[in-house]
Amino acid sequence: MSSSALHLYIGSKNLSSWSLRPWLAMSHAGVPFEEHVIPYELPDWVDRVAQRSPTRKVPVLCHGELVVWESLAICEYVAEAFPGARLWPEGREARAVARAVSSEMHSGFADLRRELPMDIARRHPRRAVSDAAARDIARVLGIFRDCRARFDQGGPFLFGAFSIADAMFAPVVTRLLSYDVEIDDVARAYAGTLTSLPAMARWSAAAAEEVERNPHLTAPAGSSYTKAAGGAAP
């Protein structure tokens, strides 16, 4: 492993849900890294990101010569590089399910993400969502119930102790709260667990400062969000 520092490049904290995932995993686990926010208001945002990331997207992790893009791959790299952080569950069965739900999050829930984009610092009135987004929400709540029922030994997270799965679902939890989505007791308790993490509090405070500085900030200029109306959500 390179002995140089880890550098994590991320987007604006109020909006960049993919950035939050590895940032939370690393921050909560106490993995040392240098954070570089590339704010969405920069007119040359895409060019700045392109200097670091082959996909022109954040997050991206640089470790010496190594570049790792894709939130889940970054989490995996950190879990391997810092085994003491125990970022995946110990048990093989729990680890398999944690990887399955993390992959499901990474590749799915497009309707929920598009209709309820992450906006951590704000609270919106409850809104009607499409049937597809409602199915996404039901599936998320089902995952929470299933994980908490099967793997609740040793802590209040999805697999007992904090794991990458919690980092992958953290932005969805913030969406449930931001848009006052109707949730069950299991989800409410789990949301309380996640939002009371000191690392989440730090991220949320920074998101609130961003919103105060620039209340109208949405997607970065030149990104796929601004090119394709109705495209993927940050």
Ligand X SMILES: N[C@@H](CCC(=O)N[C@@H](CS)C(=O)NCC(=O)O)C(=O)O
Residues in touch with ligand X (CB under 6 A): 11, 16-19, 56-59, 70-71, 106, 223-225, 234
Q: Which is nearer to ligand X, 193 or 223 (CB)?
A: 223
- Counting every residue written for the chain, the total comes to 234
Minimum distance between the CB of residue 153 and ligand X, rounded to whole angstroms? Answer: 29
DSSP per-residue string spanning 116-183:
S---TT---------HHHHHHHHHHHHHHHHHHHHS-TTSSBTBBB--HHHHHHHHHHHHHHHTT---
Q: Which is nearer to ligand X, 179 or 225 (CB)?
A: 225
Q: Which is nearer to ligand X, 17 or 174 (CB)?
A: 17
Q: How do the residues of the chain divide into helix, strand and coil, expressed in percent and rounded to 5?
A: 50, 10, 40
Q: Which is nearer to ligand X, 178 or 223 (CB)?
A: 223
Minimum distance between the CB of residue 71 and ligand X, rounded to whole angstroms? Answer: 3
Picking from 188, 226, 214, 59, the residue whose alpha carbon sits closest to that of residue 121 is 214
Minimum distance between the CB of residue 63 and ligand X, rounded to whole angstroms? Answer: 16
CA dihedral 220, 221, 222, 224 (to 10 degrees): 40
Minimum distance between the CB of residue 87 and ligand X, rounded to whole angstroms? Answer: 16
